[in-house]
Every structure is written in structure tokens, then in C-alpha cells.
Amino acid sequence: MKKIILILCLAPLFANAQSTSSGDSTIYRSAIKDAMYPQEDHAYDKLIPITKKNPNLIWKTIDCNEYVLMVSWKGDDSYYRPYLSPDSTFYPVGGWPIWVSAAPQLLQRMKTEKYTDADRRLKELLGLPPNSQYNYFVEFWVKTDDLFRPCPDNEITDTQCDVCFPENVDSTYKAWVNSSRIDRYYPCDLYDQYPWTALGYTYDWNINNKSHVGLSEFVIGKNSKVKIAAIYTTEEYLQLNNVIELKGER
């Protein structure tokens, strides 16, 4: 008598505390499909420029160098806590670039949003999978030379990204962009994918945002050294009254 072995591929029961619906997967899959083919009419001409002339940014002088305040939503803060003290050394970014947005913009945007679920709204706005888990906002003081915009032309001082690579693009950077496209669009699991626009802004997959323009996004390059400015839980960060609070001494 032949034995038949039945192998079932089951999703882990406790893969993530956040439950998602079939509606979420449909919306998110559509976002991936839309983002992976950037078109000229998707380009946005009001990206945040990182310049001293921009009055909406927060700056600080550290060791005679100018640093701008950026923020990133993280699942774990343990890497950054040891570097939080004002007397601590710089945090070494290492080989994994950090994706960030300008600190004032994220808080300002959330103050104008009407939402009942902050966690859900942040995932939509930042172009993150609906089942992902993030718990902390980490603020970084970053030198402008260590920042770039993740799009074909990576300047941080302009207000719009090109859809195609410029003729003089650095070959290493071009390879990074193309590798990032593979990493974000083509994993087998839908929720391992990301709707990366490659146009300098996060893809807001909220169905009520018809343009899907989220926040201006930047990347802290690998092997950079940054100062940890502050760490907040998600709730603490969103309860900051206004941007003035961000300007306090760290």
C-alpha cells in the first residue's frame, strides 16, 4: 500500500500581531503595481528641498558642522538607545542605509490628517505593508552630505525627481537603485514588497488620496555617522503639540 504524504504550506499563526483583510491585500497589491512603473505624470514638483533657505527644516551645529533633523519609524529602538545621551558618540550607520523623512513634515502632516487608527494611517502614508509592526520614532541629526533622495537623480536640494537616470549618473548609484527595485517589487510574499515610487516621495496607499503622494523621502547613506536626537514611542511622537517642541535641545 502506497503512503501518500501531504505537505501543507501554512502561514505562521503568530507571524504578526496585526491582522489584515483581503481588502488590504487588494489595495496594497494595486499600490505595488502602480508604484513600480513611474511615469512623468507621477512626478511631484513640491518635494522638500534640504537647504538652509528652507524655513521649515530644523538645523543644529555639531562640531562646527551643520546637521538637519530627520526621522524614521522603527520597530525596535535598542540599536539607538545607547547613543541617545548628549555625551554619547555618533551612531555608525554601517552597511544598511536608513530611510527617513524630514522631521517637521511627518508631524505636520499627521496633525492635519483625520484618522481613527494612527498605526494604520502611518503605514499608508509611509508606504509600508499593512501587517508590519513599528513602535518608535527615532530622530537623527544628519549632515547633508550623508543624505540622498532615492530616485534616478539623487540631489536633495531640488523639488522634483527625474523619471529616468541622467547621463552622468554614477554607476554605483545606478546599480543601487536597480537593486532596490528588485528588493522592493519582486519578493514572493506580497507583504515583503514595498510601493517604492523612486520619485522622491512615499507612496500613500490610502484610497482617499488620489495622487498617492505621501512624504518627501530621503536615505542616510551607509557608513555615515549620525547623532541620535530623540526617541519616542509612536503615541508620544504624535502627541507633540507642534514643531516648536522638536526644536528643543536634545
- Under 8 Å between Cβ of 205 and 127: yes
pLDDT at 168: 93
Q: Give dist(CA 141, CA 65) in Å, integer.
A: 11
pLDDT of residue 122: 98
Q: Is the dihedral of CA 239, 220, 40, 128 positive or negative?
A: negative
What's the rounded Cα separation, in Å, for the pair 30 and 149?
A: 24
In the prediction, which pLDDT does 242 show? Answer: 59
What's the pLDDT at 17? 39
Q: 42 is written with which cell numbers?
A: 507621477
User: Would you write out the chain's pLDDT as a tens digit for each of its 250 residues?
Assistant: 444 443 333 333 223 334 566 799 999 999 999 999 999 999 999 999 999 999 999 999 999 999 999 999 999 999 999 999 888 899 999 999 999 999 999 999 999 999 999 999 999 999 999 999 999 999 999 999 999 999 999 999 999 999 999 999 999 999 999 999 999 999 999 999 999 999 999 999 999 999 999 999 999 999 999 999 999 999 999 999 755 455 544 4
Element (H or E) spanning 17, and its range? Answer: none
Q: Which of 111, 86, 92, 128 is CA-nearest to residue 217? A: 128
pLDDT of residue 2: 43
Chain position carrying cell 505562521: 12
The whole-model pTM stands at 0.88
Distance CA 106, CA 95 (A): 26
Cell of 88: 554619547
Give the pLDDT of residue 86: 81
